[in-house]
Structure 1
Amino acid sequence: MEESFVKEKQKKDDEEKHISSNTRSDVIIDCHTKEEEEEEAAPTIVEEAPLRQKTKRVATLDAFRGLTIVLMILVDDAGGAYSRIDHSPWNGCTLADFVMPFFLFIVGVAIALAFKKIPSLKTGVMKISLRTIKLVFWGLILQGGYSHAPDDLQYGVDMKHIRWCGILQRIALVYFVVAMIEAFTTIGKPRVILDHGHFSIFTAYRWIGGFAAFVIYIIITYALYVPNWSFSVLEDDQLLHHYTVVCGVRGHLGPACNAVGHVDRQVWGINHLYSYPVWIRHKDCTFSAPDEGPLRDDAPSWCLAPFEPEGLLSSVSAILSGTIGIHYGHVLLHFKTHSQRLKQWVAMGFGFFIIGIILHFTNAIPINKQLYSLSYVCFTAGAAGIVFSGFYILIDVWGFRKPFLFLEWIGMNAMLVFVMAAQGIFAAFINGWYYKDPENSLVHWIQKHVFINVWHSRKLGTLLYVIFAEIAFWAIVAGILHKLRVYWKL
């Protein structure tokens, strides 16, 4: 009897040990809502201590996404006052130039995590296709020319001049390509088991999407012949002036004759490109560079031409940013301790960062956001990896979460804040209620009397308005919505 009892107890202990072992060896998924569980599950952290492990959600994911939205609001609405943080007129990198690659980086991280919860390839393909369509739809509405928010109280677009490209359209393309590759290589496949080697994570998953994008971009950029091209500008709302840009070159990386612009002119048509490119602040166009100013008398004709900063060929290059983000997500899934993850992330981040700097300062491939050059991919992806690692140390390792809660809240409702704040839809709604004159609205009154007049500076007043009346305001709104468990997901 006693012997039977001992054997039964030993068997029970063995079963509990087996369950505990399985818990340590698998990645635990935790979510905020049911919708997030389906779309973007996040792994929990496993502490260094192997016997008494604690688990919690990786808050860095939301905080980094929130940081990206905050940067977008800051540079979009304060960049006009402080051109040093606005997009670089051509070569170089400013604060605004980090926004797009940071977006694509965190999209890649999210893809790696979300696909662990999708039961079948068919379901995965349907989810990817539907989300891509939604992103393109909202991109066309917000940046295609239909919306004139926040200042112009009108809507509608002439289809002859609709802009087919934009921020959400680029995200849609990158998301579709990298998510489809991830779906076909992971869903329904056996769980990847890593070797003990330090580089095993690189061989466990295919970088085929990023590699193919890199090869296509490099070949077209340096081999495609760019002929002369023409465009027309309506001046004084009456006279239509025609200009011709002389090219006839290959591999040119300047504003006028690069392959990126040529591809967009051929695919979309010159009438469907962005009409206010940042190169208007280029030193060849104005003596006020990098600020806006009157055109030089000897300014080349291309200074007045349209150019698409989110064009087709540059978006192909952007696929590499999403691929790097997926790799960071795979590291998060497969490595169980802080030190293991950080070794991978920091080494890769600094590696890409240094490669980008070397390519730029040796003039081999300049850092250029408009072209989405290889050096730009490396430099910004490296910066994203370093910032992501820094957030991870501060928030998830050291536990300094409270100072970054506002970023988490914004990150959880990133689409809502992007549409309402970064795209000015909420401000446009408020501007629609004015007294006698469209300038007599609540938004204009707050800007002028609460910020600009108080500080006797349009630049400083604009910056403070963006920080407090936009970023802080939407952080509070996002926090309230989080408490109510309300999220806008695509």
Structure 2
Amino acid sequence: MATAQYSGRRKAAAAEDPANLRAAPTTDEEAGKAEQEMPRRSKRVAALDIFRGLTVAMMILVDGAGGEWPVIGHAPWNGCNLADFVMPFFLFIVGMAVPLALKVEQRMHNQVLAVKRVVFRTIKLLFWGLILQGGYSHAPDELTYGVDMKHIRWCGILQRIALAYLVVAFLEIFSKTSEAQELTPVGWSIVLLKIIRIFGACFLVIYLATLYATYVPDWTFTLHNTNSVDNGKVFTIVCGVRGRLDPPCNAVGYIDRQVLGINHLYQHPAWKRSKVCTYASPHEGPFRKDAPPWCLAPFEPEGILSSISSILSAIIGVHYGHVLIHMKSHLERLKHWVLMGFALIFLGILLHFTHAIPLNKQLYSFSYVCTTAGAAGLVFSLFYILVDILHLRVLFLPFEWIGMNAMLVFVMAAEGIFEGFLNGWYFESPNNTLVYWIKKHIFVKVWHSTRAGVLLYVIFAQILFWALVAGVLHRLRIYWKM
């Protein structure tokens, strides 16, 4: 009876958070041993926590310093900068977490419980995505909040993560059968490869067929920018083509304009920093006099069609997660991960430089999926070697602390909620805040450089500060779980 009660508690803990990976007992013997060890806490996969923390830190870095250092910001269109690895790294991590977090609930008699947890977690991610990136929150720069529902942005980072998580979690739940439970690690690897090939191929075919076969007609948009002399002016973009991957006439943007509505797309796409739009490229700057009108148009980088392609990043992560579960040898795991990582990178780069399919984060192209997922696999493999084999975990504690409280740091630091709160306390002018004073007097003036000052401010006053806060919360066992 006690074993059954303990097993139930462990099942609930394992499914609590797709990012909090725990090794749950799967047999009565394991449950009995674990019961004797209570109240010890369940074991986490430290390498994945560290990788998650690094990814959150990268997001804070590129958001905070990307304006001054465009080399780390998003590529204006084709290409791949540091910022372009953040989203696929998140999706890879989510995918890798799913088989570990749901491996108990995967059993047939627990499918209903697993589905409920997955759906509820997806709804929470969608909710926070709309609040933080839909336009309601104006932190940290504006001391206001609220959004005109005619212009709310429906898509965003958390919304894309929610969709990918929902798909791969359902794939994990419903692809598991009672017979498959008895398979050896090698057998599991074969089954998993078949599942990934089938579902991955389906998503890829849907994406590529839609991208290259959809007819994109001419389209118009009205500029909504009170700071522009063209505010309220209607512009017409001439297309009438199929299979184009340029900014104004691709199927990704066309589908989003038709389904979501042009007023609900992202108003500051990276393409506005391209050479045809501004002389300041890759920095932001005033538009060229001969800039094409699409430079003023919105575009959704986390839109519908590109989100279908992004699911592939999570599916590859699922595969890496199953390798971690079913292959027990360090050498076997690393051989599989590293070979697959290099193969994906080679394929992605080959497609890009042969001009078959360019690397493009905005379109979430197939070459981009391969390159970034391969890079994610290699980065995780490196952390696995350093942490799980060489036992150098202490060197990466700041990243591990962030990774264990990733949602808190994402909201407070990456989305600027904490800085927005501090900016609410100002002296005489809203521009005279503690954040502004620290950035100007402790970092920029000391180094006599805005670029260096902003970079160091982001590293020390944001990333390191929140790593220490997350470390304290970890000691107190306080976590924000989704």
Q: CA deviation at 1:103?
A: 0.1
CA shift, 1:122, in A, is 0.2
Counterpart pick for 2:352 among 360, 364, 380: 360
Q: Does 1:450 align with 2:437?
A: no
- 1:169 to 2:159 alignment: yes
Aligned to 1:244: 236
Task: Report the Cα offset of residue 178 of structure 1.
Answer: 1.1
Secondary structure of the 1:465 match is helix
Q: Distance in 2 between matches of 1:308 and 1:67?
A: 26
Aligned residue among 297, 305, 312 for 2:304: 312
- Contact kept in structure 2, 1:41 and 1:117, CA below 8 Å: no
Amino acid paired to 1:163: R
Deviation (angstroms), 1:441: 1.2
In the alignment, which residue of structure 2 is the partner of 1:130?
Answer: 120
Matched, 1:432 2:428: no
Equivalents in 1 of 2:65, 2:10: separation in Å? Answer: 33
For the 8 Å contact 2:426–2:433, the answer to whether it is kept is yes
* Counterparts of 1:403 and 1:33, CA distance in 2: 32
User: Do the aligned partners of 1:42 and 1:58 also contact (CA within 8 Å) in 2?
Assistant: yes
**Alpha-carbon spacing, 1:154–1:32, altered in 2? closer, same or farther (3 Å):** farther
TM-score by length of 2: 0.90
2:83 equivalent to 1:96 = yes
Residues of 2 paired with 1:106 and 1:223: CA distance?
32
Give the gaps of 5 or more residues in structure 1.
1-28, 45-54
Q: Name the counterpart of 1:41.
A: 21
Q: Kindly provide the CA deviation profile for residues 321-369 of structure 1, in whole angstroms up to 9, marking residues without a partner as x.
A: 0000000000000000100100000000000000000000000000000
**Mapped partners of 2:276, 2:182: distance in 1:** 53
Which SS does the other structure have where 2:234 is aligned? strand
- Contact kept, 8 Å, 1:145 with 1:162, in 2: the verdict is yes
1:397 corresponds to which residue? 389
Equivalent residue for 1:259? 251
Aligned residues: 451
**Residue pairs, 1:209-220, within 5 angstroms:** 209-220=199-210
SS at match of 1:231: strand
The structure that has the greater radius of gyration is: 1
Residues 450/356 of structure 1: CA separation in 2 closer, same or farther (3 Å cut): same
For residues 135-146 of structure 1, the aligned pairs below 5 Å read 135-146=125-136
Residue number in structure 2 paired with 1:79 = 66
Name the stretch that deviates more: 70-79 or 31-40: 31-40
* Structure 2: gaps spanning 5 or more residues: 1-6, 25-41
The range that moved more, 238-247 or 254-263, is: 238-247
The structural deviation recorded for 1:260 is 0.2
Aligned-partner SS, 1:230: strand
Find the aligned partners of 2:283 and 2:335 in 1 and give their Cα distance. Answer: 41
Query: How far is the alpha carbon of 1:38 from its aligned partner?
Result: 3.8
Alignment match, 1:107: 94
Report the secondary structure of 2:232's partner residue. Answer: strand
The equivalent residue for 2:49 is 62
Deviates more, 1:118-127 or 1:219-228: 118-127
The amino acid that maps onto 1:285 is C
Distance 1:192 1:92 in 2: 45
Q: Provide, for residues 300-341 of structure 1, a one-character-per-residue CA deviation record: whole Å limited to 9, x for no partner.
A: 110000000000000000010000000000000000010010
CA 1:324 to 1:196, structure 2 compared with 1: closer, same or farther past 3 Å?
closer
Q: Name which of structure 1's ranges 196-205 and 347-356 shifts more when overlaid on structure 2.
A: 196-205
**Match of residue 482, structure 1, among 463, 474, 479:** 474
Corresponding residue number in structure 1 for 2:34: none
Letter in 2 for 1:135: L
Alpha-carbon distance in structure 2 between the residues aligned to 1:469 and 1:195: 46
CA contact (8 A) 2:196 2:319 kept: no
1:210: how far off?
Answer: 2.1
For the pair 1:150 / 2:140, whether they are aligned, the reply is yes
State which of 221, 229, 235 in structure 1 corresponds to 2:219. 229
- The residue aligned with 1:18 is none
- Aligned partners of 1:207 and 1:323 also within 8 Å: no
Q: CA deviation at 1:298?
A: 1.1
RMSD value over aligned CA atoms? 2.1
Aligned-pair CA distance for 1:33: 12
Aligned to 2:35: none
Question: Displacement, 1:187?
Answer: 6.5
Taking the aligned partners of 1:90 and 1:397, their CA distance within structure 2 comes to: 39
- Contact 2:129-2:157 within 8 A present in 1 as well: yes
Q: Is the 8 A contact 2:14 2:102 kept in 1?
A: no
Equivalent-residue separation in structure 2 for 1:429 and 1:235 (angstroms): 27
**SS of 1:395 mapped into structure 2:** helix
* 135-144 or 291-300, which deviates more: 291-300
Instruction: State how far apart, in whole Å, the 2-side matches of 1:442 and 1:160 are.
Output: 34
Aligned twin of 1:423? 415
CA distance in 1, matches of 2:466, 2:177: 37
**How has the CA–CA distance of structure 1 residues 198 and 309 changed in structure 2, closer, same or farther, with 3 Å as cutoff?**
same
Aligned letter for 2:237? V
Distance 2:343 2:158 in 1: 29
> SS in structure 2 opposite 1:488?
coil
CA distance in 1, matches of 2:463, 2:347: 34
Question: Residues 473 and 479 of structure 2 are in contact (CA less than 8 Å); yes or no, is this contact kept in structure 1?
Answer: yes
Change (3 A) 1:437 1:330: same
Secondary structure of the residue aligned to 1:253 is coil
Q: Deviations over 1:146-196 (max 9, x none)?
A: 000001000000000000000000001111111111111127564152475
Q: Distance in 1 between matches of 2:16 and 2:368?
A: 33
Residues 335 and 160 from structure 1, CA distance in 2 versus in 1: closer, same or farther, beyond 3 angstroms?
same
Deviation per CA, 1:100-155, whole angstroms, max 9, x where unpaired? Answer: 00000000010011111226000011011101100000000000000000010000
Which residue identity lines up with residue 219 of structure 1 in the other structure? A
Alignment partner of 1:182 out of 156, 169, 172: 172
Which is further off, 231-240 or 272-281?
A: 231-240
Q: TM-score, normalised by structure 1?
A: 0.88
SS across alignment from 1:252: coil
Structure 2 counterpart of 1:175, one-letter code: Y
| Identity over aligned pairs, percent | 61
User: SS in structure 1 opposite 2:430?
Assistant: strand
Alignment of 1:365-384 (within 5 A): 365-384=357-376
Give secondary structure in 2 for the equivalent of 1:191.
Answer: helix
